[in-house]
Structure 1
Amino acid sequence: MTIDMKVLEAARIHDMKFSYTERDAMLYALSVGMGADPLDVAELPFVYEGEALRTVPTMAVVLASTGIIRKTGADFTKILHAEQRLVLHRPLPVNGELLADSRVAEVYDKGAGKGAVLVLETTARSAKDDQPLFTFLMTVLARGDGGFGGPLGSGPAPHAIPDRPPDASEVYRTRTDAALLYRLNADRNPLHADPAVAARAGFDRPILHGLATYGIACRAVLKAACDYDSARMQSFDARFSAPVYPGDEVVTDIWIEGASVLFRACVPARDAVVLNNGRCVLGDR
């Protein structure tokens, strides 16, 4: 199967409506491990409304799932989520109504039998003032769709990781039911819940969502580089390199270089790098 450039150019969504509440903000925070220690007063504001509820910035990527990928004509059964990039135009409110626009921002043809790279862009605006809140770009490898005559290339260049020991390493053990909890945010793919579906995909048990690992890394960066001030985060990018299984211990190594925070996450027990080429940009908001 091959995709068609005209179809990709026409694949657009405009003003799709979404809404979320404080309950959604707390559920997302819980699903990426916030509040694991109920006495941790630094994380409590993300899971308890108390004095002032805060949001985990990477929640943005689950708030406006427009389904643009289904308009591209790509073979959905052979799609691999390769990278996630997020730009926060302003701090993410704890609730709100959104209007989202999506398009295919970039496309690269890796050749017949090698697949295609699609960069899908979604920008969400607050319905209250029509001003942008966030933009995220999802890079996917469409493994069954190469050789369609599109531009050559392999997608956005990865962020480089420093060749020196990390400035901080944050260690989090994921819950054994982490995937069942995370799927309540937006992604109910049975790969993350049904052992039979996972087995057919080549896994011995359901795997954790890549975006859950992405959120776990955000939790680590919030602690190590932001003192949990989520309003400072202006962008958060990472590449997915291996799956995490619920119950795995995830170690996020962090390098702080001025306003740029570089990171990589691994599961030492399996000697697996699960997120790579991560970069978060901080501001003084």
Structure 2
Amino acid sequence: MPIYYPDILEQTTAPRTFSYGDKDVMLYALGIGMGRDPMDARELDFTYEKNLKVVPTAATVLAAAGGRQGRTPPQVPDGKRLSEINFLMVVHGEQKVELHQPLPVSGTFTAESRTIGAYDKGKDKGAVIVNETVWRDEAGEKVATLTGSTFARGDGGFGGPSDGAPEPHPIPERAPDLSVDFETRPDQALLYRLNGDRNPLHSDPDVARRAGFPRPILHGLCTYGITCRAVLQAIADYDPNRILSHQARFSAPVFPGDTITVDLWRDGPVISFEARVKERGATVIKNGKTVLRA
């Protein structure tokens, strides 16, 4: 089905209820490489239930806790046309997590999603679709807002606006204030996929080769989580409650086993960051921005 504009801006999903627990929180932390040193008490707090803390970017996977998969079908009001993009031709463009309150170790929540933007880059250039998901707790209070953009390579030419998409966060022109290296494990994608994203691109060598990669690639959201880990470690003293929001653009794949270098710039409560794989000369995350709580 094609994209219908402006009908797509009224496209939502029905509220859905989900729960997660401490096991899901710990699995996410292990999936982004925390706990490699079991004697490091600061990271143990994210991987052991004794004094358990939640990595803020875990919000990107906790709605799929326990391996539940599948998209909630979109819906539109009567008289509007339902849009559908070609999911075989999409890549994750940007991701932002904003926390209205710190994530608890466990709980039951309701999530509802809607399309908040659709930008036409041209018939042969694709489209950018922006979706927002809001979590609420059992009292109806906002917990988190997740905003993500999808680059739909096969869906341009639908007649929507070409301009107006959110501008990327500018990175300071000075040298980074500090840099942190993270070695990923050769089997890291096999562990991270247990958070819920079982796309075989991250596990099956044959699927990866058919997609044009020499071997399975690491999930983009895993790399995104590693950049949040960098802020926690280097700037926030491992206190997840200090992180109000974390956002980034995906620019190149990471292969399990790569060493990721996260460059950070601090300007008051705003932390800018980018991530790169030095061995391949590839920048894998661009225009990153973390906002710390006052």
Is 1:177 aligned with 2:187? yes
> What is the rounded CA distance, in whole Å, between the counterparts of 2:218 and 2:31 in structure 1?
11
Cα separation, partners in 2 of 1:67 and 1:6, compared to 1, 3 Å: farther
Is 1:251 aligned with 2:255? no
Aligned position for 1:55: 54
Residues 43-83 of structure 1, C-alpha deviation per residue, up to 9 Å, x if partnerless?
11000112x21000000011236836877411111111111
> What is the rounded CA distance, in whole Å, between the counterparts of 2:224 and 2:6 in structure 1?
32
Residues 107-158 of structure 1, C-alpha deviation per residue, up to 9 Å, x if partnerless?
111111111110011001112x111110011101111111111122272211
Aligned position for 2:80: none
The alpha-carbon deviation at position 5 of structure 1 amounts to: 2.0
Report the AA paired with residue 67 of structure 1: R
Cα separation, partners in 2 of 1:59 and 1:180, compared to 1, 3 Å: same
> What is the rounded CA distance, in whole Å, between the counterparts of 1:76 and 1:10 in structure 2?
20
Q: Which runs of 4+ in 1 moved over 4 A?
A: 68-71
Of residues 148-157 and 133-142 in structure 1, the stretch that sits farther from structure 2 once superposed is 148-157
Aligned position for 1:119: 130
Report the AA paired with residue 92 of structure 1: L
Aligned position for 2:39: 39
Cα separation, partners in 2 of 1:247 and 1:69, compared to 1, 3 Å: farther
Is 1:149 aligned with 2:159? yes
Is 1:17 aligned with 2:17? yes
Aligned position for 2:170: 160
Aligned position for 2:67: none
Cα separation, partners in 2 of 1:269 and 1:69, compared to 1, 3 Å: farther
> What is the rounded CA distance, in whole Å, between the counterparts of 2:270 and 2:107 in structure 1?
29
> What is the rounded CA distance, in whole Å, between the counterparts of 1:172 and 1:82 in structure 2?
23
3-state SS of 1:181 partner: helix
3-state SS of 1:179 partner: helix
> What is the rounded CA distance, in whole Å, between the counterparts of 1:173 and 1:113 in structure 2?
38
3-state SS of 2:227 partner: helix
Q: Please, which of 192, 201, 210 is the counterpart of residue 191 of structure 1?
A: 201
Kept after mapping to 2: 8 A contact 1:11/1:68: no
> What is the rounded CA distance, in whole Å, between the counterparts of 1:46 and 1:90 in structure 2?
18
> What is the rounded CA distance, in whole Å, between the counterparts of 1:69 and 1:61 in structure 2?
18
Is 1:105 aligned with 2:116? yes
The alpha-carbon deviation at position 14 of structure 1 amounts to: 2.9
Kept after mapping to 1: 8 A contact 2:46/2:52: yes
Counterparts in 2 of 1:64-79, with a 5 A limit?
A: 64=63, 67=71, 72-79=83-90
Q: Please, which of 218, 240, 261 is the counterpart of residue 250 of structure 2?
A: 240
TM-score, normalized by length of structure 1?
0.95
> What is the rounded CA distance, in whole Å, between the counterparts of 1:141 and 1:152 in structure 2?
13
3-state SS of 2:59 partner: helix
Residues 89-113 of structure 1, C-alpha deviation per residue, up to 9 Å, x if partnerless?
1100011111001000111111111
> What is the rounded CA distance, in whole Å, between the counterparts of 1:96 and 1:82 in structure 2?
29
> What is the rounded CA distance, in whole Å, between the counterparts of 1:214 and 1:9 in structure 2?
27
The alpha-carbon deviation at position 216 of structure 1 amounts to: 0.5
Aligned position for 2:105: 94
Cα separation, partners in 2 of 1:266 and 1:68, compared to 1, 3 Å: farther
> What is the rounded CA distance, in whole Å, between the counterparts of 2:283 and 2:193 in structure 1?
23
Aligned position for 1:227: 237
Of residues 145-154 and 99-108 in structure 1, the stretch that sits farther from structure 2 once superposed is 145-154
The alpha-carbon deviation at position 10 of structure 1 amounts to: 4.2
> What is the rounded CA distance, in whole Å, between the counterparts of 1:31 and 1:257 in structure 2?
29
Structure 1: unaligned runs, 5 residues or longer? none
Kept after mapping to 2: 8 A contact 1:179/1:209: yes
Aligned position for 1:5: 5
Aligned position for 2:290: 280
TM-score, normalized by length of structure 2?
0.92
The alpha-carbon deviation at position 8 of structure 1 amounts to: 1.6
> What is the rounded CA distance, in whole Å, between the counterparts of 1:260 and 1:12 in structure 2?
32
